[in-house]
Structure 1
């Protein structure tokens, strides 16, 4: 049981770090966006200890993902809504380009 908890914390830490890097944020920038200390972000990414729910919520908001994603790696409706909000910022032409990219990804990944 303790080993499962440790694995879960490590996986969550990996997702936090990967998402931060995907957004091209430093730990300092993420700390500022999430109203946390750089040390707290570093601890979250190292997986050395579990996070409090409020810290998890702050990190999820700053990383533009759901807390569910950070906890489990699952994409939930909230994640899709965040993506839809981003799409609303694009022009119709840009949306068609994104759609074509998604279609190509689906084609590539279903081919394997």
Structure 2
């Protein structure tokens, strides 16, 4: 299995949140994780950044932000040039799919947790 450097955008320290579960699962499966969220904290040994940090060589950005909250990250995500952006349930955003496609970035409407559980990540 290849380590896929992943950014979890919308990270949370609340165990009931899917972003929290995704960070935990990604770490367990051996992926490098960068977490960005509204509040500082730590999940599975990963510190949560509260501001956009410079990113390089990112395979995947997995979104846990509703479409309205995504807008402020459009340029940041495009400039990061990930291979793909995963839109988890509730984050679907056709406007953003088009922007990403125009910049050569793949959009995937999927659930990170399901992809990990079925070894399709």
In which range does the TM-score fall when normalised by the shorter chain? Answer: under 0.3
Q: Counting helix residues as a fraction of each chain, which structure ranks higher? A: 1
Q: Which has the larger radius of gyration?
A: 1
